[in-house]
Amino acid sequence: MASSTQIPAPAEPPHKSHFKYTVQKGYFLQSEDSTDDKEFDFRKSNFGLINRGYDTDHSAEEAEEQWKRFERYVRTQNESAKDGEFFKVLFLGRHGQGWHNVAETKYGTEAWDCYWSALDGADGIIWADANLTSTGQEQAKDVRTLWKQQLPHGIPPPETYYVSPLTRTIETADLSFQELDLPPGKEYKPFIKELLREALGVHTCDRRSAKSVIEKNFPHVTFEPGFSEDDELWEADYREPRTARRYRLALLLDDVFANDENVFLSLTAHSGAIASILEVFGHRAFALETGGVIPVLVKAEKVRGEREKPPKEPSAAPPLCDKPPQ
């Protein structure tokens, strides 16, 4: 069993096989069609865990905490799974409010998309590889408070902490997990994954810093093998379409499910990345506010052969304008 202290190197290139994913409904409220994502508050509902029984419950264990019974159920599912079949619980966390979010609100989405988003900043605001605002920091701390409340009740702490390389996501993960009293072997050790990014291109807030800069600012992170010094994915004049983003996140998930034996995982990412992950899983659309978290229980079945790559589409960004629209 791989632990959070060591991430296994890829044993098999993801392109030689891929996974079919199926959301297991009936375990988290966010997976249910009846849940209103605009009204739902994961902080007031135990991360959304549904209060229910499991076929792994025993009479002597009925008084156990819900999270402990859920963990036993999920691990038992894995123990009895067929070869090439896996069950994992992913806590998908969106970063807290960043300065790019403030700027888009300030200028309006139309002007942001066609003008301001291509700049590094303006009017005293810097949004290139944006930092968290004080509001964003508090949102991440709220998540930490929820974990702190739930740990004594048996919530399984993540065994692996995957984090996007963008500054706001690393800051969010740090504020969410770094000061928790975690059990031995489950310590917070952020593992940077290049593909766990927001839509690529045009918007400077989605252009990551150089590896050396990230290392200087966050010396405690670990980079996946082959992580490049410079951002080789971001293009100034091409915005990644949704189909391409979905494919990229599917490759990320195939990599994780093929090479990480851990069961409970944390992925700190972005609204677009999380939307694509949910789409790959076949999960219902579920909007996340900045700082929001959605857990998903998913079954993966290994499929031989390459995942089909979508054809390249035109840029998803509107044409850049010389000045913002009035």
Q: What is the pLDDT of residue 277?
A: 98
Quick one: 14-304 is in which CATH superfamily? Answer: Phosphoglycerate mutase-like (3.40.50.1240)
Residue 82, pLDDT above cutoff 90:
yes
Of 162, 159, 229, 165, the closest CA to residue 191 belongs to: 162
Please state the pTM of the whole predicted model.
0.93
For 224-265, write each residue's pLDDT tens digit. 999 999 999 999 999 999 999 999 999 999 999 999 999 999
Residue 174's pLDDT band (cuts 50, 70, 90): very high
Q: Is the pLDDT of residue 60 over 70?
A: no
Alpha-carbon distances of 126 from 100, 178, 207, 236, 284, rounded to whole Å = 8, 26, 13, 17, 34
pLDDT at 58: 81
289 is an active site residue: no
Helices marked H in the chain: 66-79, 99-107, 109-114, 134-150, 167-177, 211-217, 242-259, 271-281
**198 labelled catalytic:** yes
pLDDT at 326: 76
Under 8 Å CB-to-CB from 142, ≥6 apart: which residues? Answer: 43, 291
Query: Phi/psi class of residue 124: alpha, beta or left (left: φ > 0; alpha: ψ in -120 to 50)?
Result: left
59 falls in which pLDDT band (50, 70, 90)? low
pLDDT > 70? residue 62? no
Task: Give me the mean pLDDT over the 8-25 stretch.
Answer: 75
**Confidence class of residue 64 from pLDDT cuts 50, 70 and 90?**
confident
Active-site choice (104, 159, 198, 240)? 198
Between CA 10 and CA 251 the distance in angstroms is 13
Structure confidence at residue 13 (pLDDT): 54
Provide the pLDDT for residue 1.
39
Q: End-to-end CA distance of the chain: give it in Å, rounded.
A: 58
Q: How confident is the model at residue 15 (pLDDT cuts 50, 70, 90)?
A: low
Q: How far apart are CA 247 and CA 238, in angstroms?
A: 17
State phi, psi for 208 to the nearest 5 degrees.
-80, 160
Question: What mean pLDDT is predicted for residues 70-80?
Answer: 96
Domain range annotation of the chain: 14-304
Which two structure tokens, joined as six digits, stand for 105? 């609100």
CA-based nearest residue to 317, from 231, 206, 228: 206
**Pick the catalytic residue: 18, 71, 95, 171?**
95
Give CA–CA dist 215/225, Å, rounded: 14
How far is Cα 207 from Cα 157, in angstroms, rounded to an integer? 30
pLDDT digits (tens, 9 = 90+) for 105-135: 999 999 999 999 999 999 999 999 999 999 9
pLDDT digits (tens, 9 = 90+) for 184-215: 989 999 999 999 999 999 999 999 999 999 99
Strands 222-223 and 190-192, bridge-based pairing = parallel
Check: CB of residue 202 under 8 Å from CB of residue 172: no
pLDDT at 16: 81
